Amino acid sequence: METAIRRPNWLSRLNAVWAPPAVLDFWLSRLNPLWSWGHARARVIELHPEADGVTTLVLRPNRHFRGFRPGQHVTVGVEIDGVRYTRSYSASDMPRADGRIRITVKTVEGGKVGAFLQTIPVGSVLSLGQAFGELCVPDEPAPCLMLAAGSGITPLLSLVNAQAAAGFRRPVRLAYWARTRAQLVQAEALRAFASRHPNFKVHFMLTGEASQAADELEGRIEPRHLTTLLSGDEQAHVLACGSYGFVERVREVLGDRCLSFRAEAFSPPPRVIDASDQGHVRVTLLKSGQTLDIPRNKSLLEALEEQGVKPRHGCRMGICNTCACGKSSGATRHLHDRSVQHEPTQALRLCIQAAQSDLSLEL
Ligand code: FES
């Protein structure tokens, strides 16, 4: 693993008097881009094309990265044409002894960061957030049904690899939806697991091509698929990952066939904005001393960015907590369920809250 600067606490305190960490980080990164006084960074050491528009990056983090659990995500930061961007990606493999982490990146239409990462030179250094996310396989030994659509496969690959390392001690079935065969990621590795472990089965669900192989089925998820995935009146712990629409459809189709249901969507639910969300409010940024007028019909993150303020952010959909900041006063409205919060908080997520009244924020 590459170098990060480790220092005892007394040295941190002394340093805080001598020079702010941001200044030290600047000079350390001039000596070696991976060096930092306190921030996780990672060097890109391998790139593996996986499928149409999909590439896996192998990253070697510095010692500030605290590791991850299968199913978790990390926030990656890159600079493109002088502008800093951050995006969240799932780890696509389980943790390994060498500390390396794999993320699998897909190009999306108009998406700058995905396209940039797919051709990033080996040796480049990225900033890395600490891992987050709660998707996991429950401990009870009941069957586990994993359902993935498109990029939703990445955290499930990490979980399948972890189950494989443990010898598939419980029945695990994976159904993986893609439009075409060429878009499937790690199909052969999954087939290899299935051929070696009777407790693991994989089904590739194609929505834009006819099925050909014995482990392929056609069509979007519907009740008839359950008879293939679950035998008789069998129930399973279900993990689902895909777009918001996919996850909601899975929930609907499964009904009461699951012992537990854990899901992660990589797209947010539709935002509920109505005619009453008009006008502007005054936002006071307590740390910078700025006062701004922002619209009530946008997320606080978007509204602040339009005014030239650049809060830290990652997923932009309320998962990673990167954008959380304190709110000392005022009311905000949740953009997904329209609930209104009047109380002061330390953890207001700017990407999924809109201003309801004048606000004071710890920014
Ligand atoms: S940016 Fe991830 S929670 Fe707001």
**343 half-sphere exposure, CB direction, 13 A CA radius:** 4
For the cut 60, the answer to whether the pLDDT of residue 170 exceeds it is yes
Q: Which of 94-103, 130-139, 147-156, 229-238 has the lowest mean pLDDT?
A: 229-238
Q: Are 264 and 135 in contact (CB under 8 A)?
A: yes
Ligand 1 neighbourhood includes 201 CB (under 6 angstroms): no
pLDDT digits (tens, 9 = 90+) for 276-296: 778 999 999 999 999 999 999
For the cut 50, the answer to whether the pLDDT of residue 1 exceeds it is no
Atom of ligand 1 nearest to the CA of 321: 3
Please state, in angstroms and rounded to a whole number, the distance separating the CA atoms of residues 310 and 153.
31
Please state, in angstroms and rounded to a whole number, the distance separating the CA atoms of residues 276 and 274.
5
Q: Which comes out higher in pLDDT, residue 71 or 270?
A: 71
pTM comes to 0.82
Ligand 1 neighbourhood includes 323 CB (under 6 angstroms): yes
Q: In a mutational test of the pocket of ligand 1, which residue from 85, 310, 320, 361 has the highest number of ligand atoms less than 8 Å from its CB?
A: 320
Residue 129 CA to ligand 1 center (angstroms) comes to 12
pLDDT digits (tens, 9 = 90+) for 84-99: 888 899 999 999 999 9
Among the listed residues 156, 197, 153, 157, the one whose alpha carbon sits nearest the alpha carbon of residue 178: 153
Q: Which of 18-32, 175-189, 326-340 has the lowest mean pLDDT?
A: 18-32
Distance of CA 88 to the CA centre of its chain: 4
Q: Where are the alpha helices (DSSP H) in the chain?
A: 9-18, 21-31, 112-118, 153-165, 187-196, 223-229, 244-254, 300-306
Q: In a mutational test of the pocket of ligand 1, which residue from 316, 336, 348 has the highest number of ligand atoms less than 8 Å from its CB?
A: 316
Q: At 18, list the tokens.
A: 């001598």
Please state, in angstroms and rounded to a whole number, the distance separating the CA atoms of residues 101 and 72.
11
